[in-house]
Structure 1
């Protein structure tokens, strides 16, 4: 069979499996591995051009890590909050140790157990971000925390990409270490100087042609990866550094967008290759250890994260939803294992084992995240052990407030600013301990709690409220707030925020007095400003001054977008 026909059949099968994965709401990554199993020796044994597949998969990994590097500015770590750092590093450490001992109990060698433990610790940023976005939870507390600590995990994984080749050399003599440091200084120093002195001007020149920009950035990424290979590092680490070198340039998003389709094609080959490398005899011996390790990931990882978040003062629902986002292993896990195989640290059995764990955990965790609300309602009474009693919950039920504001992030912050300078008595409600702490420092009456908890809502002093405002972008939560507020005071004015037109219509149908659609309201306000100021540039300058002051206040409050 010719190479062309072989790859045509391969892509056709991959497409059919991907369509089925989309139908059952599963990440396509699972479909690609299953495609590999189908075309590999277990089923049809269609692949003969393994060298080509290996090359394509290596290119795919390099482009993937290059794009990851594009989104990692050197200042990225400064933006991580305390919670992201503690949960990110804490969960990776605990899971790695637990995975190591489980691996040893299953009879693995020390080095193999280390690889398996580390592989189980990382969760997929790409898959989780897509699932959270599909649910409309990117602005939720658990969504923000999850994205934060997943990026921390990515940075830990990136550091390992540099460490593995050093471990592979096995030469830790002083002279070898000094030589390695010199090579590192030359490689990193050279790229840093080039990226600062020449790269911006070069990108500005080639950026005038979209085709030339595409060709240059692809050559840059693969070229630096090759240079790192020559210097004794891994191709993966070189591709990553190549991306980081371009991360501060204004064209990074355009470069990322242009390379993404190419990445998607080549990385498919990597996952297909993982599936194709499994064998019948191999897979039968994998089932029991794969199930044990999958249980550690599906149940152990969420429990570890929930414990950490409970100790940090978060509510049990937030902890559970965040915990579900670490209930699968990452594409980084598979890349690290493949790298270990390349350097002879692990055998094909370990690669197949981790691949099978990836299939099981990604499949299971997807439904955990999609149905987290229903799972929480079933498990709620058993989760109190992960929630410490917080002093922030104590307040006098006799307190009287004219306005109760639910959610004090971004839109809620603007309401809070206006209420602070008004004559209305008000209370804020939020379930982010960091926000609550900041408001308490300012002397704001604030209550820590989950607005989706009916027992918590029943304890709030809503009887005296004239206005209830919810800036929480979640339909069911807003409906619950409305019904509770109207049950104790039927004439209370209720205002909510929606992100979609149909959601706004449904909230009006439920009985809300006014529903804010931020983009429509912003457009309306902008139009009124233009009609009012017309072509008066001095008036625009004064408006700009006030706007910039307000934007800086939002940045200080930790808001990254409107």
Structure 2
């Protein structure tokens, strides 16, 4: 069978399996690995040009990590908060340590156990971003925290990819030291070239989309090859190559153009991974795979919930964030495959981690998509993950006339209005960082989750005239409306919806007014264009820039 026909058959089988996987609402990565099992020697035996396909799969891995590096922009680095750093490093350290001990207890060698521990520690950025996007939770607090610590994990990945080749040097401290010096020197040179040359070269290259596309491929694959020639992994070179281009204004364009290439070649990596799974001894792998999978599905969320509870976050935020680490990532598979290529681990370990990946990705997808239902079932058992002094906080403020649920969206403008009107108001928020900011400014507030019915029933509504929610969550807003109506306050209830359908549903549920930000923004923009001349627009721009700077300064305090 010629190579063209072989690749055609592989892609065709992958497409058919992917269709079935999507019907089950699962990530396609599972379909690709299952495709590998089907086309491998155990079943259809369609993989014959293994060396060529391995080169293609390496290109896929290089593109995947190159794009990860492209996302490590200064904007995203600056956006990572303290909690993301704490949870990112804390979870990786604890999971790796416990995973290593668990693997040793199951009879694996010390180095193999370390690889397994590292594999269990990393969660899939691609899968989590897709699931959060599908749920519309990217802008929610737990979604932002999840994205933050996944970014931290990407940084940790850079160092791990550099460290893997060092294990092949044995116990020679001199060789290890010389390799570390070489790595540092290479990074300095790449950094200097990127800052001195790339920014100038970008002005010329970005004039042509085709030239930009070709340059990005050459830069990514070129650095990957250089790193491999120097004795490091091509994966570390690809990641560094992407990170150096992240500073360029055209990095978004590079990302969008390379994404289809990455998607095609990475399919071949996962297909080969599935095809190389050792099923002869699968009976010996099932028990360890189940044990490790249970640790990832249950242990990882518990580790993260514990860290977030210590940091002052409510149990629901900790629970939802914890579920996002209940699977291993494509990086886990890449690291163990890299260890296999260096001879650090046996094929059995690679097959085990691949099996863990299939199990945890499959189960965690349903867990994340049904996190609200799971939280309702688990809530009574999760109080242990809240700090007692926060969970039992005393409400010292008098009953307010106005309550604002959610500060970090439109809350700034409402706060200015309340102060101007000299009303007795109270802000409700569940983000400890927001609460600390309000405390420093002596602004009346209470720490709590508006989605927790027990918390809402502790609030004093007796003088309430207005309740405003900036939280674009239908279920939370319905809960607020219901509790206010049950309390017979007669208060005006204003809530927020992210789309028109949700807004209409909230009106039916009893809201007095529903803010739909996009609709409101569109109406205001249309009126501005209708009423303002260019000179008036200049004045409006000056005032808006001043306002935006005030908002930025307020957020940074």
TM-score for the superposition, normalised by structure 1: 0.95
Shift of 1:513: 1.5
Name the structure 2 match of 1:438: 437
Shift of 1:438: 0.7
Number of aligned residues: 556
Take 1:378 and 1:311, find their aligned partners in 2: how far apart are those partners?
23
Take 1:557 and 1:339, find their aligned partners in 2: how far apart are those partners?
46
Name the structure 2 match of 1:44: 44
Name the structure 2 match of 1:33: 33
User: Quick check: 390-399 or 165-174, which moved more?
Assistant: 390-399
Residues 281 and 496 (structure 1 numbering): CA distance in 2 closer, same or farther, change over 3 Å?
A: same
* SS at structure 2 position matched to 1:159: helix
Contact 2:312 2:390 in 1 (8 A): no
User: Quick check: 16-25 or 521-530, which moved more?
Assistant: 521-530
Cα displacement string for residues 93-134 of structure 1 (whole angstroms, at most 9, x for unaligned residues) = 111111001111111010000000111011111111111111
Name the structure 1 match of 2:414: 415
Residues 326 and 475 (structure 1 numbering): CA distance in 2 closer, same or farther, change over 3 Å?
A: same
Name the structure 2 match of 1:18: 18
Shift of 1:182: 4.8
Residues 74 and 509 (structure 1 numbering): CA distance in 2 closer, same or farther, change over 3 Å?
A: closer
Contact 1:87 1:305 in 2 (8 A): yes
Shift of 1:392: 7.8
Take 1:44 and 1:188, find their aligned partners in 2: how far apart are those partners?
45
Contact 2:278 2:348 in 1 (8 A): no
Take 1:395 and 1:532, find their aligned partners in 2: how far apart are those partners?
50
Residues 171 and 281 (structure 1 numbering): CA distance in 2 closer, same or farther, change over 3 Å?
A: same
Take 1:58 and 1:72, find their aligned partners in 2: how far apart are those partners?
22
Name the structure 2 match of 1:118: 118
The alignment status of 1:448 with 2:466, answered yes or no, reads: no
Shift of 1:271: 0.8
Name the structure 2 match of 1:356: 355
User: Quick check: 307-316 or 255-264, which moved more?
Assistant: 307-316
User: Quick check: 517-526 or 496-505, which moved more?
Assistant: 517-526
The alignment status of 1:305 with 2:279, answered yes or no, reads: no
Shift of 1:532: 3.6
* SS at structure 1 position matched to 2:457: helix
User: Quick check: 59-68 or 190-199, which moved more?
Assistant: 190-199
Name the structure 2 match of 1:146: 146
Shift of 1:355: 0.3
Contact 1:397 1:460 in 2 (8 A): no
Name the structure 1 match of 2:372: 373
The alignment status of 1:280 with 2:268, answered yes or no, reads: no
The alignment status of 1:404 with 2:406, answered yes or no, reads: no
Residues 165 and 421 (structure 1 numbering): CA distance in 2 closer, same or farther, change over 3 Å?
A: farther
Take 1:391 and 1:46, find their aligned partners in 2: how far apart are those partners?
59
Cα displacement string for residues 537-562 of structure 1 (whole angstroms, at most 9, x for unaligned residues) = xx444433332233234334559xxx
Name the structure 2 match of 1:543: 540
Point out where structure 1 has 5 or more consecutive residues left out of the alignment.
none
* SS at structure 2 position matched to 1:107: coil
Name the structure 1 match of 2:79: 79
Contact 2:166 2:176 in 1 (8 A): no
User: Quick check: 137-146 or 108-117, which moved more?
Assistant: 137-146
Name the structure 1 match of 2:487: 488
The alignment status of 1:293 with 2:292, answered yes or no, reads: yes
Contact 1:161 1:336 in 2 (8 A): yes
Contact 1:122 1:153 in 2 (8 A): yes
Name the structure 1 match of 2:381: 382
Take 1:370 and 1:268, find their aligned partners in 2: how far apart are those partners?
24
Shift of 1:422: 2.5
Contact 1:398 1:461 in 2 (8 A): no
Cα displacement string for residues 316-368 of structure 1 (whole angstroms, at most 9, x for unaligned residues) = 11111111111000111111101111111111000000000000000111111
Residues 182 and 310 (structure 1 numbering): CA distance in 2 closer, same or farther, change over 3 Å?
A: closer
Cα displacement string for residues 198-244 of structure 1 (whole angstroms, at most 9, x for unaligned residues) = 21222221222211111111111001111111222111111111111
Contact 1:39 1:45 in 2 (8 A): yes
User: Quick check: 224-233 or 74-83, which moved more?
Assistant: 74-83
The alignment status of 1:228 with 2:227, answered yes or no, reads: yes
Contact 1:410 1:554 in 2 (8 A): no
Take 2:116 and 2:153, find their aligned partners in 1: how far apart are those partners?
16
User: Quick check: 476-485 or 1-10, which moved more?
Assistant: 1-10
Name the structure 2 match of 1:475: 474
Take 1:366 and 1:237, find their aligned partners in 2: how far apart are those partners?
29
Take 1:424 and 1:532, find their aligned partners in 2: how far apart are those partners?
33
Name the structure 1 match of 2:156: 156
Name the structure 1 match of 2:3: 3
Name the structure 2 match of 1:69: 69
Shift of 1:197: 1.9
Cα displacement string for residues 500-552 of structure 1 (whole angstroms, at most 9, x for unaligned residues) = 1111111111121111111221122223333343121xx44443333223323
Point out where structure 2 has 5 or more consecutive residues left out of the alignment.
none
Contact 2:461 2:489 in 1 (8 A): no
Residues 192 and 404 (structure 1 numbering): CA distance in 2 closer, same or farther, change over 3 Å?
A: same
Take 1:557 and 1:352, find their aligned partners in 2: how far apart are those partners?
51
Take 1:407 and 1:125, find their aligned partners in 2: how far apart are those partners?
27
Name the structure 1 match of 2:552: 555
Take 1:442 and 1:68, find their aligned partners in 2: how far apart are those partners?
39
The alignment status of 1:321 with 2:320, answered yes or no, reads: yes
Contact 1:42 1:278 in 2 (8 A): no
Take 1:395 and 1:282, find their aligned partners in 2: how far apart are those partners?
59
Cα displacement string for residues 8-65 of structure 1 (whole angstroms, at most 9, x for unaligned residues) = 1111110111111111111000110010011112222221111122111100010011
